[in-house]
Structure formats: C-alpha cells, structure tokens
Amino acid sequence: MLDQLAQHAAQQLRAGFDDYNDRFRAITQRARARFERREWALMQADLVERIELYDRCVAEASAALLATLREHAGERALWLRIKPAFEQAIRGLLDGELYQTYYNTLTRRFFKTRGVDADIEFVALRIEPTDRITHPVARHSYSVGDSLADSLDRLLEDYPFEVPYADRRADAAALALDLERRLTHWGERPIRAIEMLETVFYRERRAYLVGRIFGADRYAPIVIALNHHADGGIGVDAVLTERDDVAVLFGITRSYFLADFETVGDAVVFLKTLLPRKAVDEWYSMLGRLKQAKTERYRHFFRHFEQSPECFVHAPGAKGMVMAVFTLPDYPLVFKVIRDHFAPPKTVARQDVMNKYQLVFKHDRAGRLIDAQEFRHLRFPRSRFAPTVLEELLGGCRESVVADGDDVVLLHCYVERRLRPLNLLVMEDAPAIARRAILDYGQAIKDLATCNVFPGDLLLKNFGVTRHGRAIFYDYDELCLVSECRFRDLPKAQNIDEEMHHGAWFHVDEHDVFPEQFPQFLGLSADDRAALLVTHSEIFTASWWRSLQDRFRAGDPPEIAPYPEALRLR
C-alpha cells in the first residue's frame, strides 16, 4: 500500500513542479509584449508576481499532498519510498535539479527539518550539476564575411518585434563601426563569427540580445541593448563586450531578468562561458530561479566548508546595531542574523527589518542594492564559531539562533556576497582610490533615489565596494521609499537662543529628512567632503529630492542606464 502511495505522490510532485514551471514561463513570456507596449510598471509587477509564485505553488502542492497522503503524510517510511520513486519519475530530465529543489522544499515543510536530512532529501555537495549538461541551448550562429554590418543586420532581423526597428540598417552599421573600433587589438577583421542566444532578456525598460563574438584566436561576450522610444520605435542603445561591463549588468545588485528558456540548466552552462568567474547560483538568480540559486549557493558553500579548517569570525567593518554579521575569512559570503534587541537610536522592530529585506527583494535595485538570500534552519558545528561570535549569537540573537547539542542552528538569517566596507576603504586605501569610491558613493545615492529608494542611514559604514569599484548599499533597516519621505529645507535660526539650542529647536516628524545635514555626519576629510559636494551637490538639497517626488507622483520616473554612457552608440 505504501509503495502505491509513494508512486502516486511522486507523480503528483512532478506534476506540481510542471505546473509551477508553466506558470513561471507564462509570466516571463509577457515581457516581450510589455516591452513592445512600453508597459514598464506592469513589467515590474510581473517580476514581483513571479517572485511570489513559488511559495504560492508550494502551498497549493502541500495541501494537495496532504489530501493524498492523509494520515501517512508525516511518516518517514513513506517518504523513504517517495524519494526514489520521484527520482525515477524525473530521470533524464535536463532540469532535474530544479525538480529536486522543489521536492526538498516540500519535505522540509512537512518535517520542519533543521539542517539536512539526506535520507529523504536530495543532497549532492560534491558535484556541480551543470557539469553533466551537454545539451546545447537554442542559439543563432553567424559567419562574418567581408561586411560586419551585413552580419549584424541579419542578426537584428532574427529578433523581430511587433513594433519595428526605427532604422535597423543604420543601427547595424553603427554597431559594426563601434565594435571594429573597440576590437582593433584583435587584428584585421576582428570578428569572424557571432553566436547569440535565441532567447531575449528583458529588464526594466530594455531588451538584451546576449551571446559571444569570436575572433581568429579569442572570444568575448557581447550584449546588445535595445530600447523602445515612445515616438521612434525600437533601436540599439548600447553594446557591451568587456567582461567587467557584462558582469555589472548581470550582477548581484540588479533585478532579475525576464528571459524565457525551455530548459534552464543548458542556458546557465552557456552563460557561464561569458563570465567564468561568476558563480552558478548567481546565474540562476539572474534568471529568476531563486530557489535553485539558494540550493546552488548552499551546495557550493558547504562543499567549501567541509574542506576548510577556518572558523566563523565577525565580518570586517563596524559592529551593526541591528544585525550580527559573521563570515568565513576564506569565503566571499557574509551571514546576517537579526539581533533580539536594538540599541538606541534604532526604533525599528524585528518584523520591520524583515519587511525591508522583502522590499529590496522585489524592488528595482538600480545596481546599488545587494541581493540577499533568506535561509532558515542552517546547521553548523559549534566548534566552527570563534568564541566571540558564538557568545554574540547565543546571547543576543536567541530569536534567530539556537544551540542543539554540539551544533548551532540558524533559525533565520540572510546570506549575501561579502563586500569591502566603504568606511574601511576610505581609511586604509590610497587617497586617489578613496576619492573615487567617495564620488561613486554619491552616485549610488543618486541612482537609488532615481528608483525611489532612500537609504535612510547614509553613513559610509552602511555601504560596501565591489571588485569593480562600485559603491553598494547593504544595511536595510532604515531604508524606505523616496515617495514616503518629507524632504525639508533646514530652518534658519531666528535668534541667539535658537542658534545655541542643543539639538533641533524646531519640530521634526518621523519622516522628515534634511538633506543639508547629510555631509556633517559622514566623517570625511575636508578635501573629500568638498569633492563630494562639488560633484554631487544636488543630493544635499531638499529641492532636488522634492523634484524627484514630483516625477514619481506624475508617473514619469527618471531612468538610469545600467551601463556607462561611453558604451552607448553615438
């Protein structure tokens, strides 16, 4: 009887993932029409709907399984039969890893597993699943003859839209000229062949054609960015061929793409050839396969953890009032755990902090907010924590961390890529490097404001710097929407009593912000502060912020390109 029930449950589980995947792809497939109709707000709404879809489908599948399994739902003996039956049901599928992750999600909900239960879950820490994929993802290939412009024109012709190109031939000629200029170091006739994914990538207000260009003895990524002007049709806006530029476009500080692939694993294999250093889990994230991204991050980290002798230590940077943050020195991730109590002047509650992370999770991140993954029930040996870290976690984070025998279980945490704290960089690096970082910090505030995000706490310690030199905000407990703030000019004292008053002599509401005061609290040298004020003077005036609010209210938000101005076609 149990064997029959297991077979039935296995087929139901496979059908459950198929249903989720079909719905995921249906949402993703709307992106083309959104781009053609310039429905930018609806495209963002689709992205949020797709993020929320997984938990909704898992809840539906859980209820259906309970109805099928009834009193046997919590019996390990049954799940020991379901696992091999499910493995057989998905054997040979290219995206078998995604099915297994879905299965694991359901078992963990049924058994409330802390750590890993290898008997009833799929666990494979010592293999890279994409290494087994040899199936080629669908792509277009072009042999480049004497005229690169002709080849690029054929390429653009293979990506038709309901809205025509404004001037496809002119775009192809401009692309050819730009590529030949950039790749002169590749020699005469630098590009011999082009290979492009058939799938178009969509995000925010652009569509992207993604592939590789080949020379006589080398290759490089190529990303062609298309925009859709209200009055001029579709056109090529930019082309990216440097790996650093492509890495920023596909980076951990960007929103996820809407890109519809028949199967995902083979797409990840191809994409990884464009940026070999980029982790597999980050490619899954960029394609919106967020649960699989968590599985791959977990897999890769624990494979390293088993081989490393190092202990968790406090992460570099200032001690946080809201989060306890720790890391392995030889691995580029940080773990963030919410404290039980927050020191003054923090007034937020635990749920407020979690809501801020959810906001970031679903919002346009403008390339300036780091992607955080939420994990529950991670189990580590107690011996792998430095004593000071263990004392902090078990003493001040008891709502998130518990001791379980010789182990420590993180009931709830956020995991992010580790960045260099901006305040440490400014103190430790050469003045010229520090100055560049400070000026990019100012640009980061502008970029965030443009996508309706106000960081709240602008101290340098709340920003990190990527290996590409970009300033990124990563402390979310005071983050809010620009549209929610009241930006005020600093009142002028009317008499000596007001001028000499300790603290604010005027009334300040909860959402009041005084941009003129920002520079006073940054701890910059006089020269660095002056450079910041000269380059980014707007962000220190209430009128600039109010003008942004006016645009948001009018439904005409500003836009920032996700690549440098120098890469745009002239």
- pLDDT in tens for each of the 570 residues of the chain? 677 898 999 999 999 999 999 999 999 999 999 999 999 999 999 999 999 999 999 999 999 998 988 888 788 888 889 999 999 999 988 899 999 999 999 888 877 766 667 778 887 655 566 666 667 899 999 999 889 999 999 999 999 999 999 999 999 999 999 999 999 999 988 999 999 999 999 999 999 999 999 999 999 999 999 999 888 899 999 999 999 999 999 999 999 999 999 999 999 999 999 999 999 999 999 999 999 999 999 999 999 999 999 999 999 999 999 999 999 999 999 999 999 999 888 888 999 999 999 999 998 888 999 999 999 999 999 999 999 999 999 999 999 999 999 999 999 999 999 999 999 999 999 999 999 999 999 999 999 999 999 999 899 999 999 998 999 999 999 999 999 999 999 887 665 554 555 555 556 788 899 999 898 888 899 999 999 999 999 999 999 999 999 999 998 888 888 999 989 987
For residue 303, tell me if it sits in a domain. Answer: no
For residue 147, tell me if it sits in a domain. Answer: yes
Measuring CA to CA, which residue among 355, 351, 311 is closest to residue 335? Answer: 311
189 in the same domain as 211: yes
Q: Which residues of 2-40 are buried (b: 16+ CB within 10 A; e: fewer)?
A: eeebbbebbebbbebbeebbebbeebbebbbebbeeeeb
279 in the same domain as 209: yes
For residue 82, tell me if it sits in a domain. Answer: yes
Q: Which of 270, 298, 326 is the last residue in one of the domains? A: 298
What is the residue range of 535's domain?
A: 420-567
For residue 96, tell me if it sits in a domain. Answer: yes
DSSP 61-128: HHHHHHHHHGGGTT-HHHHHHHHHHHHHHTTT-TTHHHHHHHHHHHHHHHHT-SS--TTTS---SS--
149 in the same domain as 117: no
- Chain-centroid distance of CA 373 in Å reads 9
546 in the same domain as 497: yes
For residue 328, tell me if it sits in a domain. Answer: yes
Q: Which of 262, 277, 298 is the last residue in one of the domains? A: 298
For residue 161, tell me if it sits in a domain. Answer: yes
563 in the same domain as 428: yes
For residue 485, tell me if it sits in a domain. Answer: yes
For residue 91, tell me if it sits in a domain. Answer: yes
Total number of domains in the chain: 4
Q: Which long-range contacts (CB under 8 A, 24 or more apart) does 294-298 make?
A: 294/373, 294/375, 295/97, 295/101, 295/104, 296/129, 297/333, 297/373, 297/415, 298/375
210 in the same domain as 284: yes
Measuring CA to CA, which residue among 337, 341, 312, 335 is closest to residue 323? Answer: 337
149 in the same domain as 273: yes
70 in the same domain as 209: no
373 in the same domain as 514: no
Q: Which of 271, 298, 325 is the last residue in one of the domains? A: 298
* Given 371, 475, 477, 528, the catalytic residue: 371
18 is catalytic: no
167 in the same domain as 104: no
Asked if 450 and 366 count as a contact pair (C-beta separation under 8 A), the reply is yes
266 in the same domain as 153: yes
441 in the same domain as 407: no
Measuring CA to CA, which residue among 257, 254, 193 is closest to residue 220? Answer: 193
